[in-house]
Chains A and B, each alone.
Chain A
């Protein structure tokens, strides 16, 4: 078995990235309900657990998770997020891939850790709220009016960054377990996983 990605692997990456992205996009919409914005880091890994676990069963080479991460952050960047999403997303994907690879994509513990780290890319999309805080909220204030901005600003104080990163981990662990049980219950029986 060669270690180079073949065309079938590349097509698999495409399929699962499409599903991952579609699921993420639907979840992300919840973020536009004012208060629910804080829930996205928790929901994202929770919901994407099922497709990601199925994706892992198709992987035996290094690189597939990395490419998925690169594409997800590329698309987010192309659709108006700051460059931070790439600066956070791509390293996260590489580290996750390395961890997963060290368990040959089968070790359950490493899958949980890897999935949590992979999901942390969402922090890259949220970081501007802190790093470019003034510019970010000025822009929101101009566009969305005072009430919305004040609600959001009071919610997004400094320590929220840690809470959110932690929410990704909690969501990731739960998502991984949901994903695994779904995999066992449905996909293995159907012979897909």
Chain B
């Protein structure tokens, strides 16, 4: 009797544990949420995965109740039908948290961790700032399913260094700053680098409270015009203001340090974004644009965001024109302050296109119909988040780190390239492909703008789709749709296409396509070897000319599995010990990870990626 009861209720969990034990790595073992950020396959990650299907069911019932309450039961049924038939995907259904956030740390300056349920008071010096900052990042991340961005991190750190060591600390960079009796004498530079190390290694530590995932942590660097645009009205608790000269120095030093540190360990986080203003022709702050090119040439891997408007980045305190387009808010990276996505629902464009053709329907009209429904679904989801907020469950919001009206409700796009291929469109910079982009994206863009209110903002993003790209391709193939590859692209180009050169990719991720993508996309320019600073400068100019707002360069790093040597080049043999037992690190969809940590399906996709030599085209 008991055997039957327990078999009926719990056998599936026991079976899951057995399958998880046998899986090649943690991402592959996950049946609903494969994610290379789960570095270790262990009892904690197994436990985290165990009940995810139940959480999905719970979230769907919450949504059905809310859609019925706000709209009608038929729409609630339609929501589930769309999810189960894979026309639509709700990201991170395995958690009940909001999705991702870029916080203002201002409350932390005045209240420390107390607003987040901690005990530490406001940081008073560099030591307490660094320690409490780590705890703050973990505390905030505990209430979000995805990324946590702290764009002000280095600006605040600079403030506390100046408080402890004076405004001229950069001029005394190589001077000893420890007391004479201290055995381990440290220069100013040593001391700051020790703090970098403390923070970065601590935050990269897989966290028990997050099912043994590390925090998905983003930071931003600002050039001078963006700095002034964002922080000219900013005042620290002692009434002092941020200092551009020392912040610029610290930003550069952190980038240099982090790049060098990645020769010791494959440090995934922070994901970095350099924000560079352009005037429509060239970068305004040439010193910072040159520095970014220099860092790319030195093998560092980070995102660059560029725009011709300071208002394109979200700010905690800046008033924006309501007629203006949405500010940049990409779920993978950091840009502005006080932004993010409360939730993301992604449309399977390949399936939508094929269904429209099958039914003889107008594709743009089908997009409009779908967006109308997604807006309602997202409004229902927003109401659920508001219910949590009103019940005091969202401490990060209550404490003032972010507000609900500053975050977007996001419509994701996946299967875009595959839908175009189904229509026989060549995936290259050509009029037909751009017209297809307009046909799909413009109706969403227009609907988002029309639906904007004082408290609700929608945006559209070409989502990274780390595991969704694989899932959609699998589901569509099983349902008999035309599926050209086992993982849908996360970009406007085909990752395996050797004929699509570097410049083509910038054009495809340029203004012609992204003008209707108000939430962003990320061009990953895969290169087989690093270019020179001058070559990167030229390519970065191409980004301005093509209107490509967000990009990175991706050269695989090599890790020797025998001696641990790390190279920023793709090698066939370890130059230190001669071993051919090598692993490679590359961006899975935005963040740097060992390929062996990717899910098996994503490893297949990674193996097919075309890496451009970049030489002739530049």
Chain A complexes with chain B: no
